[in-house]
Amino acid sequence: MNNISRTEIILRVIFVRLMDNNSITYRGEQLEWPAVYLKMFSPMMIVVLITIGVDAWVEYSTGGLSPFFYKDLVTIGIIAFAYVLFLFKKIHKTMAINVTVYSIVIGIMALLPFRLDVEDFHFESYFLKVEIVLVILTYAIGILVNPWHILYLLILNLVFIAFCIYGMQGEYPIAKFIFYIMLMTCTSLLGYKLNRIFFDLNHQVSAANALIQSQNEDLKRTIAAKDQLFEILGHDLKAPFFHLSALLTLSDHTEDPEKKKEYKQMMKDAIKEGDQLVASILDWVDVQSTYMNFELHEGSVNEIVADTVLSEQIRAKLKDIQIETDIEPELRMQMDSQMMATVLRNIICNAVKYSHRNSTIQVVGKKGPDHIILQVIDKGIGMSEEIKNELFMYGKISTRVGTEQESGSGFGLNICKKMVENQNGTMDLQSVTGKGTTVTMRFPHAHG
C-alpha cells in the first residue's frame, strides 16, 4: 500500500470521519475543518468564559475590586463579544479563537507589575501557571488556526520572561528562566510539527477524496454507457433482422420479378444498415471502456488519410460524390493509427451521408503554428445550433437520415470526439443549415 503504515491508515480513517463542510486555507487550497472541533466550539467557548468567571470570583474574594478582578471582567467582556459576533455570523471561528487566546495572554502578562507589588506573592507558582496556560493556548491556536501563531506566542513568552527577569531583580534563578524558555520553545516546535502532520493528512485525504469522486463519476458514466448500450441492442439492433425476416416472407409469397428485385435490394440495405450499426456499437464500446489500450506513435497524416479515403470511395461513388484531399507533404503527428482511421472514417462517412449527389468533400491537413490541423469539409445539408449542441451531449443520441434517406446510429461524432481527445487533440465543428459542415481537429505537433 505504498509503504503506508497501519497507524497512518488509522489516522486517515479517523480524519475522514471528522471532515465537515467548513474550510481553512492551506498551501493555497481550501481544506476542511474537523467536524468534532466545530461541534465542540460553542461548549469550549462557554467553558473558557466560566473558567475566567471563576478566576474573577477568586480574585474578588481575596482582593476585592483589584486590578486582577477588573482584568478578568474585561477579558470576559471581550471574549463574550467575540462569541456573540460569531453567533450572528459576523466573524469566523478563527477570529473568535484569536481574540480569546490573545486577550487571555495579554491580560496575564500586562498585570505582571501589579503582581510583583502584592505582599506574599508566590512568583514561582504564578510563573508556572502562566507557562502552562501558554503551552495549552499555543497548541490550541497553533494546531487549529495557523502555525504562525506558535511563533507569535513564543515571542510574547520571551518578552514576558524578560520582564520577569527584570522584575525579580535576581531573586529567581536565571537557570529556571532558561529552562522554561527551552521548554516553551520545544513544545512550540512540537506543536508546529503536529500542525504540519495534521494538515498534510488533511491534504492527502482531500486528494484521495477528489480521486474517489472522480472514480465514482467514471463508474456512473460506465454504468450509464452500459445501460444505453443494452437499450440500443434491445431496440435498434433487432430492427435489421426483423426487416430481413419480413422481406424474406414477402419474397416467398410473390412471383412478381420486379417485386422480388425490390425486396432483394431492400434486404441488401437492411444488411448494410445492420453492419454499420454493429461497427458503430463496437467502436462506441471501445471508447467507453476504462481500460481501452492504445498507444500513440508518430505517423504520416498523408498515409492515414489516403487509406481512409480509399475505403470510403465506394460509398461516395454510389452518390457520385468526389472526395478531394489537400494534405501538406511530410505532415506527421502522434496518433494511434487504428483510432485515427476510425475517426476519419466516421467523419467522412457522415459527410457523404449528408452531402447532395454530385457534390465534393474536402479533406485538408496543414501544420499550424501551434497544432496540426485536420479538416473535413462538405457542402451538404448542414445542421442547426440545436442539433449541433445535442451531438456531444452525454446520454443524448441525435440521429438524422441522410440526403437519400440513409440511416444513422447517432454515435458517429460522439465517438470521434472521444477518440480525438484520447490522442491529445480537440474537435469542434462549424455548420450552417443548407450550406454544409466543417469538422476541425487539432493535434499537437509531432516530437522533434
Residues 136 and 272 placed together within one structural domain of the fold: no
In the predicted model, what is the mean pLDDT of residues 419-444?
91
* 209 in any annotated domain: yes
User: What are the residues whose beta carbons fall under 8 Å from the beta carbon of 48, sequence distance 6 or more?
Assistant: 79, 100, 104
Rounded distance between C-alpha atoms, residue 426 and residue 341, angstroms: 16
d(CA 445, CA 334): 7
Query: Are residues 307 and 283 located together in one domain of the fold?
Result: no
The pLDDT score that the predictor gives to residue 440 is 94
Q: What is the pTM of this model?
A: 0.44
> Residue 440 forms beta bridges with which residues?
375, 428
Same domain, 383 and 322: yes
Q: Degrees (nearest 5) of the Cα angle 105, 111, 113?
A: 135
pLDDT in tens, 58-70: 889 988 888 889 9
In a domain, 68, yes or no: yes
Domain-ending residue, one of 261, 278, 293: 293
Strand, helix or coil for residue 430: strand
226 in any annotated domain: no
Lowest model confidence (mean pLDDT) among 4-18, 36-50, 177-191, 422-436:
4-18
User: d(Cα 249, Cα 243) in Å, to the nearest integer?
Assistant: 10
Residue 232 confidence (pLDDT) above 80 = no
Question: In which region does residue 442 sit, left (phi positive, over 0), alpha (psi from -120 to 50) or beta (all else)?
Answer: beta
Torsion sign across C-alpha atoms 228, 405, 354, 321: positive
CATH code, 376? 3.30.565.10
> 227 in a domain, yes or no?
no
Residue 314 pLDDT class (50, 70, 90 cuts): confident
Burial classification of residue 357, based on how many CB atoms lie within 10 Å of its CB (0-12 exposed, 13-18 middle, 19 or more buried): exposed
The number of folded domains in the chain is 3
Taking alpha carbons only, the member of 341, 346, 353, 419 closest to residue 383 is 353
- Say what the pLDDT of residue 188 is: 73
Spatial contact of 373 and 440, defined as CB atoms under 8 Å apart: yes
Exposure of 448 by Cβ count < 10 A (0-12 exposed, 13-18 middle, 19+ buried)?
exposed
The Cβ of residue 93 has, within 10 Å, a number of other Cβ atoms equal to 18
Give the pLDDT of residue 241: 74
* Residue 290: predicted pLDDT: 40
Whether 314 and 165 map to the same domain: the answer is no
**Do residues 314 and 408 both lie within one domain?**
yes
Dig out the grid coordinates for 177 from the structure.
Answer: 528562566
| pLDDT value for 302 | 93
Do 289 and 303 lie in one domain? The reply is: no
Q: Is residue 230 part of a domain?
A: no
35: left (phi over 0), alpha (psi -120 to 50) or beta: alpha
> How many CB atoms lie under 10 A from the CB of residue 221?
14
Note whether residue 222 is domain-resident.
Answer: no
C-alpha 309/C-alpha 364 separation (Å) is 12
The mean of the pLDDT values for the chain is 77
Q: Of the residues 213, 228, 263, which one is the last residue of a structural domain? A: 213
Instruction: Report yes or no on 11 lying in a domain.
Output: yes
User: Residues 397, 415: contact at Cβ < 8 Å?
Assistant: no
What is the mean pLDDT of the segment spanning 137-163? 78
Residue 135 and residue 104 in one domain: yes
Of the candidates 213, 394, 218, 347, the one whose C-alpha atom is nearest the C-alpha of residue 289 is 218
Q: What is the mean pLDDT of residues 296-325?
A: 87
- Look at residue 154 and tell me if it is in a domain: yes
How far is Cα 274 from Cα 241, in angstroms, rounded to an integer? 8
The residue-averaged pLDDT of 367-384 equals 91
Among 168-177, 377-386, 436-445, the range scoring the smallest mean pLDDT is 168-177
Alpha carbon separation from 201 to 8, 145, 197, 298, 442 (Å, rounded): 9, 16, 6, 42, 41
In angstroms, what is the C-alpha Rg of the chain? 38
* Residues 114 and 40 occupy one common structural domain: yes
- With CA atoms as reference, report the closest residue to 57 among 70, 74, 71, 69: 69
In this structure, the answer to whether residues 203 and 71 fall within a common structural domain is: yes
Cell of 47: 467553558
Contact yes or no for 429/413 (Cβ under 8 A): yes
What is the percent of the chain with per-residue pLDDT over 90, rounded to a whole number? 17
121 plus 265 within the same structural domain: no
Domain boundary among 182, 213, 244: 213
Claim to verify: residue 288 and residue 301 sit in the same structural domain? no
Mean pLDDT of 258-267: 82
Contacts of 40 (CB under 8 A, 6+ apart): none
- C-alpha 137/C-alpha 11 separation (Å) is 24
Question: Which runs of consecutive H residues, i.e. helices, occur in 289-336?
Answer: 301-317
Residue 230 has pLDDT above 70, yes or no: no
Task: Check whether residue 316 and residue 269 sit in a common domain.
Answer: no
Contact 281, 230 (CB under 8 A): no
Give me the pLDDT at residue 411, please: 57
DSSP 446: P
**Beta strand pairing call for 360-367 and 322-327:** parallel
Q: In angstroms, rounded to a whole number, what is the distance separating the alpha carbons of residues 94 and 160?
A: 25
Q: Which of 12-26, 36-50, 317-331, 416-430 has the lowest mean pLDDT?
A: 12-26
For residue range 97-126, list pLDDT tens digits in order. Answer: 889 888 988 888 888 788 777 776 777 777
In this prediction, residue 110 carries a pLDDT of: 84
Nearest to 17, CA basis, from 209, 219, 146, 196: 209
Is the pLDDT at 311 greater than 70? The verdict is yes
HSE-CB of 417 using CA atoms within 13 angstroms: 12
Closest to 367 (Cα-Cα) out of 337, 328, 406, 339: 328
Domain range spanning residue 153? 6-213
Task: Answer for the pair 91, 78: CB distance below 8 angstroms, yes or no.
Answer: no
